[in-house]
Amino acid sequence: MIKPLGSDKLIPLYVADDAKRAALLKEAAGLPSILISSAAAGNAVMLGGGYFTPLKGYMNVADSMSVAETMKTTSGQFWPTPVINVVEDASAIKGAKRIALKDPNVKGNPIIAIQDVTAIEEFTAAQMATMTKAIYGTDDMEHVGVSTFNTVGKVCISGPIQVLNFSYFPSEFKGTFKTAVEIREEMGKLGWEKVVAFQTRNPMHLAHEELCRMAYEDEKADGILIHMLLGKLKKGDIPADVRDACIRKMVDVYFPPNTVLVTGYGFDMLYAGPREAVLHACFRQNCGCTHLIVGRDHAGVGDYYGPFDAQTIFDGISKDDLQIDIYRADHTAYSKKLDKVVMMNRVTDHTKEDFVLLSGTKVREMLGKGIKPPKEFSRPEVADILIKYYQSIE
Protein backbone atom coordinates (compact mmCIF):
# COMPACT_ATOMS: atom_id res chain seq x y z
CA MET A 1 0.00 0.00 0.00
CA ILE A 2 1.02 3.59 -0.56
CA LYS A 3 2.56 5.56 2.31
CA PRO A 4 0.48 8.22 4.10
CA LEU A 5 0.82 11.84 3.10
CA GLY A 6 3.92 13.51 4.55
CA SER A 7 4.54 10.69 7.04
CA ASP A 8 5.81 7.13 7.28
CA LYS A 9 2.74 6.15 9.27
CA LEU A 10 -0.77 7.41 9.96
CA ILE A 11 -1.22 9.98 12.70
CA PRO A 12 -4.76 9.45 14.08
CA LEU A 13 -5.63 12.02 16.74
CA TYR A 14 -8.31 9.87 18.38
CA VAL A 15 -7.35 8.88 21.93
CA ALA A 16 -7.75 5.12 21.62
CA ASP A 17 -6.61 4.22 25.15
CA ASP A 18 -9.77 3.85 27.28
CA ALA A 19 -8.19 5.05 30.52
CA LYS A 20 -6.59 8.09 28.90
CA ARG A 21 -9.82 8.95 27.12
CA ALA A 22 -11.83 8.66 30.35
CA ALA A 23 -9.35 10.96 32.10
CA LEU A 24 -9.59 13.49 29.30
CA LEU A 25 -13.38 13.42 29.37
CA LYS A 26 -13.25 14.08 33.10
CA GLU A 27 -10.82 16.97 32.48
CA ALA A 28 -13.01 18.32 29.68
CA ALA A 29 -15.94 18.73 32.08
CA GLY A 30 -13.97 21.38 33.94
CA LEU A 31 -12.54 23.20 30.92
CA PRO A 32 -13.92 26.33 29.21
CA SER A 33 -16.00 25.03 26.30
CA ILE A 34 -17.33 26.24 22.99
CA LEU A 35 -19.89 24.92 20.51
CA ILE A 36 -18.15 24.44 17.18
CA SER A 37 -19.57 24.34 13.65
CA SER A 38 -20.56 21.18 11.82
CA ALA A 39 -17.60 21.73 9.46
CA ALA A 40 -15.17 21.96 12.39
CA ALA A 41 -16.69 18.81 13.92
CA GLY A 42 -16.16 17.04 10.60
CA ASN A 43 -12.55 18.19 10.61
CA ALA A 44 -12.17 16.72 14.12
CA VAL A 45 -13.58 13.37 12.96
CA MET A 46 -11.20 13.30 9.98
CA LEU A 47 -8.22 14.28 12.14
CA GLY A 48 -9.23 11.66 14.69
CA GLY A 49 -9.39 8.88 12.11
CA GLY A 50 -6.00 9.62 10.56
CA TYR A 51 -7.57 10.85 7.32
CA PHE A 52 -5.88 14.24 7.66
CA THR A 53 -2.38 12.92 8.38
CA PRO A 54 0.09 14.62 8.95
CA LEU A 55 -1.95 17.50 10.42
CA LYS A 56 -2.06 17.74 14.23
CA GLY A 57 -5.04 20.07 14.63
CA TYR A 58 -6.70 23.23 13.39
CA MET A 59 -4.74 25.71 11.28
CA ASN A 60 -4.05 29.33 12.22
CA VAL A 61 -4.72 32.31 9.95
CA ALA A 62 -1.24 32.25 8.36
CA ASP A 63 -1.44 28.54 7.49
CA SER A 64 -5.03 28.87 6.28
CA MET A 65 -4.11 31.70 3.92
CA SER A 66 -1.00 29.88 2.72
CA VAL A 67 -2.98 26.69 2.03
CA ALA A 68 -5.70 28.62 0.21
CA GLU A 69 -3.21 30.46 -1.99
CA THR A 70 -0.46 27.85 -2.52
CA MET A 71 -1.85 24.48 -1.30
CA LYS A 72 0.97 24.38 1.24
CA THR A 73 1.22 25.37 4.89
CA THR A 74 3.79 27.94 5.97
CA SER A 75 6.14 25.06 6.83
CA GLY A 76 5.77 23.64 3.30
CA GLN A 77 3.42 20.73 4.01
CA PHE A 78 1.15 20.08 1.02
CA TRP A 79 -2.57 20.41 1.82
CA PRO A 80 -5.35 21.71 -0.45
CA THR A 81 -7.98 23.24 1.85
CA PRO A 82 -7.83 25.05 5.21
CA VAL A 83 -8.65 22.80 8.17
CA ILE A 84 -10.07 25.32 10.60
CA ASN A 85 -12.18 25.85 13.69
CA VAL A 86 -13.97 29.17 13.22
CA VAL A 87 -16.74 30.60 15.37
CA GLU A 88 -18.69 33.86 15.50
CA ASP A 89 -17.77 34.64 19.10
CA ALA A 90 -14.91 33.21 21.19
CA SER A 91 -15.50 35.31 24.32
CA ALA A 92 -16.45 32.19 26.31
CA ILE A 93 -12.88 30.88 26.01
CA LYS A 94 -11.01 34.19 26.24
CA GLY A 95 -7.57 33.66 27.79
CA ALA A 96 -7.95 29.85 27.93
CA LYS A 97 -5.04 27.69 26.86
CA ARG A 98 -6.99 24.42 26.80
CA ILE A 99 -10.63 24.11 25.83
CA ALA A 100 -13.37 21.54 25.26
CA LEU A 101 -15.06 21.44 21.86
CA LYS A 102 -18.78 20.67 21.86
CA ASP A 103 -20.35 18.70 19.01
CA PRO A 104 -23.22 20.55 17.26
CA ASN A 105 -24.49 17.39 15.55
CA VAL A 106 -25.29 15.23 18.58
CA LYS A 107 -28.12 15.82 21.05
CA GLY A 108 -26.85 17.46 24.23
CA ASN A 109 -23.69 18.70 22.47
CA PRO A 110 -21.20 16.29 24.08
CA ILE A 111 -17.48 17.00 24.00
CA ILE A 112 -15.94 15.74 20.76
CA ALA A 113 -12.36 16.92 21.38
CA ILE A 114 -10.01 18.88 23.59
CA GLN A 115 -7.96 21.61 21.93
CA ASP A 116 -4.76 23.29 23.08
CA VAL A 117 -5.22 26.90 22.00
CA THR A 118 -2.15 28.34 20.28
CA ALA A 119 -3.95 31.42 18.98
CA ILE A 120 -7.34 33.10 18.69
CA GLU A 121 -7.33 35.35 15.64
CA GLU A 122 -9.90 36.88 13.34
CA PHE A 123 -9.93 36.61 9.57
CA THR A 124 -10.42 39.98 7.90
CA ALA A 125 -13.12 40.40 5.27
CA ALA A 126 -10.36 40.54 2.64
CA GLN A 127 -8.84 37.29 3.90
CA MET A 128 -12.21 35.54 3.86
CA ALA A 129 -12.76 36.75 0.29
CA THR A 130 -9.32 35.52 -0.79
CA MET A 131 -9.85 32.10 0.78
CA THR A 132 -13.34 31.77 -0.65
CA LYS A 133 -12.21 32.51 -4.21
CA ALA A 134 -9.17 30.24 -3.93
CA ILE A 135 -11.04 27.26 -2.46
CA TYR A 136 -14.34 27.48 -4.32
CA GLY A 137 -13.33 29.33 -7.49
CA THR A 138 -16.23 31.74 -6.94
CA ASP A 139 -17.54 34.18 -4.37
CA ASP A 140 -21.18 33.67 -5.33
CA MET A 141 -23.20 33.24 -2.14
CA GLU A 142 -25.68 31.13 -4.11
CA HIS A 143 -22.98 28.44 -4.15
CA VAL A 144 -23.89 26.20 -1.20
CA GLY A 145 -20.27 25.72 -0.13
CA VAL A 146 -19.45 29.42 -0.36
CA SER A 147 -22.52 30.27 1.71
CA THR A 148 -21.67 27.72 4.42
CA PHE A 149 -18.02 28.79 4.56
CA ASN A 150 -18.91 32.45 4.99
CA THR A 151 -21.67 32.13 7.58
CA VAL A 152 -20.10 30.15 10.46
CA GLY A 153 -17.84 32.94 11.73
CA LYS A 154 -14.45 34.58 11.25
CA VAL A 155 -12.82 33.97 14.64
CA CYS A 156 -10.13 31.31 14.13
CA ILE A 157 -9.15 29.07 17.06
CA SER A 158 -5.96 27.23 16.15
CA GLY A 159 -4.00 24.49 17.84
CA PRO A 160 -3.57 20.71 18.23
CA ILE A 161 -6.48 18.53 19.30
CA GLN A 162 -7.16 15.23 21.04
CA VAL A 163 -10.29 13.58 19.63
CA LEU A 164 -12.54 11.78 22.12
CA ASN A 165 -15.21 10.35 19.81
CA PHE A 166 -16.31 10.18 16.19
CA SER A 167 -19.60 12.06 16.63
CA TYR A 168 -22.75 10.34 15.35
CA PHE A 169 -21.07 8.38 12.58
CA PRO A 170 -20.25 5.06 14.33
CA SER A 171 -23.78 4.71 15.75
CA GLU A 172 -25.75 5.87 12.69
CA PHE A 173 -23.53 4.12 10.15
CA LYS A 174 -22.39 1.04 12.03
CA GLY A 175 -20.26 -1.16 9.80
CA THR A 176 -19.93 1.55 7.14
CA PHE A 177 -18.12 4.37 8.94
CA LYS A 178 -14.43 3.50 9.08
CA THR A 179 -11.32 5.41 10.02
CA ALA A 180 -8.31 5.52 7.71
CA VAL A 181 -6.60 3.25 10.23
CA GLU A 182 -9.36 0.65 9.95
CA ILE A 183 -9.42 0.83 6.15
CA ARG A 184 -5.67 0.21 5.95
CA GLU A 185 -6.05 -2.74 8.33
CA GLU A 186 -8.88 -4.27 6.28
CA MET A 187 -7.02 -3.86 2.99
CA GLY A 188 -3.93 -5.38 4.59
CA LYS A 189 -5.89 -8.44 5.71
CA LEU A 190 -7.19 -8.85 2.14
CA GLY A 191 -3.64 -8.61 0.80
CA TRP A 192 -4.43 -5.58 -1.35
CA GLU A 193 -1.48 -3.53 -2.54
CA LYS A 194 -2.91 -1.70 -5.56
CA VAL A 195 -6.30 -0.16 -4.77
CA VAL A 196 -8.58 2.19 -6.73
CA ALA A 197 -10.81 4.52 -4.69
CA PHE A 198 -14.20 5.76 -5.78
CA GLN A 199 -15.65 8.85 -4.09
CA THR A 200 -19.41 9.22 -3.95
CA ARG A 201 -22.12 11.32 -2.39
CA ASN A 202 -24.80 9.70 -4.57
CA PRO A 203 -26.20 6.23 -5.15
CA MET A 204 -24.28 4.44 -7.89
CA HIS A 205 -25.96 3.88 -11.23
CA LEU A 206 -24.74 1.32 -13.76
CA ALA A 207 -22.29 3.81 -15.29
CA HIS A 208 -20.62 4.40 -11.90
CA GLU A 209 -20.42 0.66 -11.29
CA GLU A 210 -18.79 0.08 -14.66
CA LEU A 211 -16.39 2.99 -14.12
CA CYS A 212 -15.11 1.28 -10.98
CA ARG A 213 -14.74 -1.94 -12.93
CA MET A 214 -12.87 -0.17 -15.75
CA ALA A 215 -10.41 1.44 -13.34
CA TYR A 216 -9.94 -1.87 -11.50
CA GLU A 217 -9.16 -3.68 -14.75
CA ASP A 218 -7.13 -0.90 -16.42
CA GLU A 219 -4.88 -0.48 -13.38
CA LYS A 220 -4.73 -4.24 -12.67
CA ALA A 221 -5.77 -3.44 -9.10
CA ASP A 222 -6.26 -5.84 -6.22
CA GLY A 223 -9.41 -4.14 -4.98
CA ILE A 224 -11.81 -1.20 -5.05
CA LEU A 225 -12.57 1.11 -2.14
CA ILE A 226 -16.05 2.60 -2.54
CA HIS A 227 -15.86 5.44 -0.05
CA MET A 228 -19.00 7.47 0.54
CA LEU A 229 -19.44 10.77 2.32
CA LEU A 230 -21.65 10.36 5.40
CA GLY A 231 -21.88 13.97 6.59
CA LYS A 232 -24.10 16.87 5.68
CA LEU A 233 -25.22 17.48 2.12
CA LYS A 234 -27.21 20.14 0.31
CA LYS A 235 -30.99 20.02 0.17
CA GLY A 236 -32.21 17.45 -2.35
CA ASP A 237 -29.24 15.08 -2.09
CA ILE A 238 -30.09 11.50 -1.15
CA PRO A 239 -29.49 10.62 2.54
CA ALA A 240 -26.46 8.53 3.41
CA ASP A 241 -28.41 5.54 4.75
CA VAL A 242 -30.28 5.19 1.44
CA ARG A 243 -27.06 5.49 -0.56
CA ASP A 244 -25.41 2.93 1.69
CA ALA A 245 -28.21 0.43 1.08
CA CYS A 246 -28.08 1.01 -2.69
CA ILE A 247 -24.32 0.60 -2.93
CA ARG A 248 -24.20 -2.49 -0.74
CA LYS A 249 -26.93 -4.15 -2.80
CA MET A 250 -25.06 -3.38 -6.04
CA VAL A 251 -21.78 -4.76 -4.66
CA ASP A 252 -23.40 -7.88 -3.18
CA VAL A 253 -25.12 -8.79 -6.44
CA TYR A 254 -22.71 -7.64 -9.14
CA PHE A 255 -19.13 -7.83 -7.83
CA PRO A 256 -17.11 -10.95 -6.93
CA PRO A 257 -16.47 -11.44 -3.19
CA ASN A 258 -13.46 -9.66 -1.67
CA THR A 259 -12.98 -7.23 -4.55
CA VAL A 260 -14.80 -4.23 -3.05
CA LEU A 261 -14.81 -2.55 0.36
CA VAL A 262 -17.90 -0.40 0.98
CA THR A 263 -17.04 2.23 3.57
CA GLY A 264 -17.82 5.81 4.55
CA TYR A 265 -16.18 8.80 6.17
CA GLY A 266 -17.53 11.46 8.53
CA PHE A 267 -17.25 14.80 6.79
CA ASP A 268 -19.58 17.46 5.39
CA MET A 269 -19.55 18.00 1.62
CA LEU A 270 -17.75 21.19 0.55
CA TYR A 271 -18.91 21.24 -3.10
CA ALA A 272 -15.53 22.82 -3.87
CA GLY A 273 -14.93 21.05 -7.18
CA PRO A 274 -11.21 20.90 -8.08
CA ARG A 275 -9.89 21.74 -4.60
CA GLU A 276 -12.15 19.13 -3.03
CA ALA A 277 -10.93 16.56 -5.57
CA VAL A 278 -7.38 17.18 -4.32
CA LEU A 279 -8.57 16.84 -0.72
CA HIS A 280 -10.20 13.55 -1.69
CA ALA A 281 -6.88 12.40 -3.14
CA CYS A 282 -5.01 13.34 0.05
CA PHE A 283 -7.15 11.32 2.38
CA ARG A 284 -7.47 8.37 -0.02
CA GLN A 285 -3.65 8.23 -0.05
CA ASN A 286 -3.86 8.15 3.75
CA CYS A 287 -6.27 5.21 3.45
CA GLY A 288 -3.58 3.35 1.48
CA CYS A 289 -5.16 3.66 -1.98
CA THR A 290 -2.85 3.92 -4.99
CA HIS A 291 -5.41 5.44 -7.38
CA LEU A 292 -8.39 7.79 -7.12
CA ILE A 293 -11.05 7.85 -9.83
CA VAL A 294 -11.78 11.47 -10.81
CA GLY A 295 -14.62 11.85 -13.27
CA ARG A 296 -16.41 14.76 -14.86
CA ASP A 297 -17.35 17.59 -12.49
CA HIS A 298 -15.97 15.73 -9.48
CA ALA A 299 -17.28 17.29 -6.23
CA GLY A 300 -18.96 20.07 -8.20
CA VAL A 301 -22.29 21.78 -7.91
CA GLY A 302 -24.29 23.80 -10.43
CA ASP A 303 -22.26 25.20 -13.33
CA TYR A 304 -19.41 26.64 -11.30
CA TYR A 305 -16.69 24.33 -12.65
CA GLY A 306 -15.67 23.03 -16.06
CA PRO A 307 -16.27 19.31 -16.63
CA PHE A 308 -12.56 18.42 -16.30
CA ASP A 309 -11.29 21.13 -13.93
CA ALA A 310 -11.08 18.56 -11.15
CA GLN A 311 -8.67 16.54 -13.31
CA THR A 312 -6.46 19.30 -14.72
CA ILE A 313 -5.78 20.73 -11.24
CA PHE A 314 -3.57 17.67 -10.68
CA ASP A 315 -1.34 18.69 -13.61
CA GLY A 316 0.26 21.31 -11.38
CA ILE A 317 0.81 19.04 -8.37
CA SER A 318 4.22 17.41 -7.89
CA LYS A 319 4.63 13.71 -7.12
CA ASP A 320 6.83 14.87 -4.25
CA ASP A 321 3.71 16.39 -2.68
CA LEU A 322 1.04 13.83 -3.58
CA GLN A 323 1.89 10.25 -4.50
CA ILE A 324 -1.55 8.81 -5.30
CA ASP A 325 -2.27 8.41 -9.03
CA ILE A 326 -5.39 9.89 -10.63
CA TYR A 327 -7.51 7.71 -12.88
CA ARG A 328 -9.02 10.30 -15.21
CA ALA A 329 -12.47 9.32 -16.37
CA ASP A 330 -14.72 10.78 -19.01
CA HIS A 331 -18.51 10.57 -18.87
CA THR A 332 -19.63 6.95 -18.93
CA ALA A 333 -22.87 5.79 -20.53
CA TYR A 334 -24.50 2.74 -22.07
CA SER A 335 -23.70 2.28 -25.75
CA LYS A 336 -26.59 0.92 -27.80
CA LYS A 337 -24.09 0.02 -30.53
CA LEU A 338 -21.80 -2.03 -28.29
CA ASP A 339 -24.46 -3.18 -25.78
CA LYS A 340 -22.36 -2.15 -22.77
CA VAL A 341 -21.28 0.83 -20.69
CA VAL A 342 -18.34 2.69 -22.22
CA MET A 343 -16.29 5.78 -21.53
CA MET A 344 -17.65 8.20 -24.09
CA ASN A 345 -14.27 9.58 -25.18
CA ARG A 346 -13.13 6.05 -26.09
CA VAL A 347 -15.81 5.53 -28.75
CA THR A 348 -15.19 8.24 -31.33
CA ASP A 349 -17.55 6.66 -33.88
CA HIS A 350 -20.60 7.28 -31.65
CA THR A 351 -23.12 10.11 -31.78
CA LYS A 352 -25.25 11.28 -28.87
CA GLU A 353 -28.11 9.11 -30.11
CA ASP A 354 -25.98 6.00 -29.68
CA PHE A 355 -26.02 6.36 -25.88
CA VAL A 356 -28.68 5.88 -23.23
CA LEU A 357 -28.63 9.30 -21.54
CA LEU A 358 -31.04 10.37 -18.82
CA SER A 359 -30.99 13.58 -16.80
CA GLY A 360 -31.02 13.42 -13.01
CA THR A 361 -34.35 15.25 -13.03
CA LYS A 362 -35.89 12.68 -15.36
CA VAL A 363 -34.61 9.77 -13.27
CA ARG A 364 -35.98 11.31 -10.05
CA GLU A 365 -39.36 11.80 -11.72
CA MET A 366 -39.45 8.16 -12.81
CA LEU A 367 -38.45 6.87 -9.38
CA GLY A 368 -41.01 9.08 -7.66
CA LYS A 369 -43.72 7.54 -9.87
CA GLY A 370 -42.53 4.03 -9.08
CA ILE A 371 -41.04 3.54 -12.55
CA LYS A 372 -37.69 1.79 -12.81
CA PRO A 373 -35.16 3.48 -15.12
CA PRO A 374 -34.05 1.27 -18.02
CA LYS A 375 -31.65 -1.56 -17.18
CA GLU A 376 -29.01 0.25 -19.26
CA PHE A 377 -29.04 3.04 -16.67
CA SER A 378 -29.71 1.46 -13.28
CA ARG A 379 -29.63 -1.97 -11.69
CA PRO A 380 -33.22 -3.03 -10.87
CA GLU A 381 -32.30 -3.97 -7.29
CA VAL A 382 -30.92 -0.47 -6.74
CA ALA A 383 -33.94 1.14 -8.40
CA ASP A 384 -36.26 -0.71 -5.98
CA ILE A 385 -34.50 0.90 -2.99
CA LEU A 386 -34.62 4.36 -4.58
CA ILE A 387 -38.29 4.04 -5.55
CA LYS A 388 -39.14 3.21 -1.93
CA TYR A 389 -37.18 6.29 -0.77
CA TYR A 390 -38.65 8.75 -3.27
CA GLN A 391 -42.18 7.55 -2.66
CA SER A 392 -41.65 7.98 1.10
CA ILE A 393 -40.92 11.70 0.67
CA GLU A 394 -43.73 12.47 -1.77
Q: Please tell me which residue in 202, 213, 248, 364 is annotated as part of the active site.
A: 202
Q: Is residue 334 within 8 Å of residue 207, measured between CB atoms?
A: yes
Q: Are residues 196 and 265 in the same domain?
A: yes
Quick one: CA dihedral 90, 96, 102, 108, positive or negative? negative
Q: Are residues 255 and 352 in the same domain?
A: yes
Q: Please tell me which residue in 21, 98, 109, 201 is annotated as part of the active site.
A: 201
* Model confidence band, residue 283 (pLDDT cutoffs 50, 70, 90): very high
At 97-144, the pLDDT tens digits run 999 999 999 999 999 999 999 999 999 999 999 999 999 999 999 999
* Model confidence band, residue 92 (pLDDT cutoffs 50, 70, 90): very high
At 301-353, the pLDDT tens digits run 889 999 999 999 999 999 999 999 999 998 888 999 999 999 888 998 999 88
Q: Are residues 176 and 164 in the same domain?
A: no
Q: Are residues 360 and 250 in the same domain?
A: yes
Domain boundary among 103, 136, 168: 168
Q: Answer yes or no: is 1 within a domain.
A: no
Q: Answer yes or no: is 9 within a domain.
A: no
Rounded to the nearest 10 degrees, the angle between the axes of helix 240-254 and helix 380-392 is: 160
- DSSP helix/strand/coil, 82: coil
What local confidence, expressed as pLDDT, does residue 26 receive?
97
Domain boundary among 133, 168, 203: 168
Q: Are residues 188 and 330 in the same domain?
A: yes
Number of structural domains the chain divides into: 2
Domain boundary among 143, 168, 193: 168
Q: Are residues 33 and 109 in the same domain?
A: yes
Active site residue 201: yes
Q: Answer yes or no: is 12 within a domain.
A: no
The domain of 258 spans 171-392
Active site residue 150: no
Q: What CATH code is carried by the domain that includes residue 223?
A: 3.40.50.620
